[in-house]
Structure 1
Amino acid sequence: VVVCGMGLGLDDQARDILALIRDSISLKQVLILDASALDLISQQKDLLPVNSKLVIFTPHQMEWQRLSKIKIADQNDQSNQAFLNELVPRKNAILVLKSNHTKVYDQAGNIYRNPFGNPGMAIGGMGDTLAGIIGGFCGQYTPNLKTVAGAVGIHSITADEIAKKHYIVRPTQLSALIPAMMRKYEK
């Protein structure tokens, strides 16, 4: 599993790193793209690594707008699904579109709407944490829509638990509580 993008930046060195991943990724690897990696690909589509077993995009709505050119107000299931299929013709992609109601799309037309989460999650680093959790789940379980949706769900359920006592949910709090919440919900 390769997770790329958080803190990468948008300079020439960042482009070189993403190009290296594009040229080195194999059909045995899962690739999660977040943050700067998505912005770089929106500027230069040929940086998109397509030779992975599965590519998972984890944009928030503005990053998705930059990548897809679909304005936030026009982002709907049909347009999101259509662009994902256009972007990745190999049909080996999953989109985790982060918002107050995060949705997870696969290219077979399946959509998971995350019913959990809270406003206290709107803090820097929360999406980075989610990308890492998705990476961890894909490394432990079969990388597919169900696994990614499970990672999104446990991320938000854990944040909801923290929000019972704290107004803001810090990513460090969430990461610390994840193992106990996984144990609680493993069945």
Structure 2
Amino acid sequence: GTTTAQTVLTSLGINGSVSSSMPQNPISIKQKIAMEVAKRTESKNQFDVVSNGGDPMIPTVAGILSTASYQTKVILAGGTQMAAVLAFSRITGYNKDNVALATTSYVTDDKSANLVEMIKQIDEIPIFSVRLALGNSKIDGLRSFAKGFVKEGVGAGGATLAAMLKIGITADQLLELTEKQYREIISQ
């Protein structure tokens, strides 16, 4: 997902480095792929750009954003891929006053990437960075997030922000519930 997002962002003229699901971000490989796809894509039409090197999720979510943002508040839940959605959405249109992006601090703190700067090149929207307590987990797999593995996934930052705003849950409380759920799943 991050490599296709890099490809779309580069092809649409957004400069920057995307995050990675691994602690050692292979950014030079991603940028090389993105540049090769950009050269191969003769058209600057955003649909052609996504067709040649993107993910079908990008125009799909952009279409949802284009309608939903004129009716209600929308949180783009995710990191790098949502930057690509926002860049693509410049052609479908959206109400920027109703749009924000939420991701985890593991993405925004990633020294090998610059999500915030890329978003600023696209538009001025609020960016929420949710600090999770996964580094304090008793479970190795959950602690891995804090060590640079995965960083975001299935809208973790947006889902966490929604839970924090809706029910007032803290990162520590969420960690406790996550560990409980994890143990229940593993014990089956």
TM range (shorter): 0.3 to 0.5
State the TM-score, normalized to the length of structure 2. Answer: 0.40
Structure number with greater Rg is 2
In proportion to residue count, which structure has more helix? 2
Tell me the TM-score normalized by structure 1: 0.40
| More strand, by proportion | 1
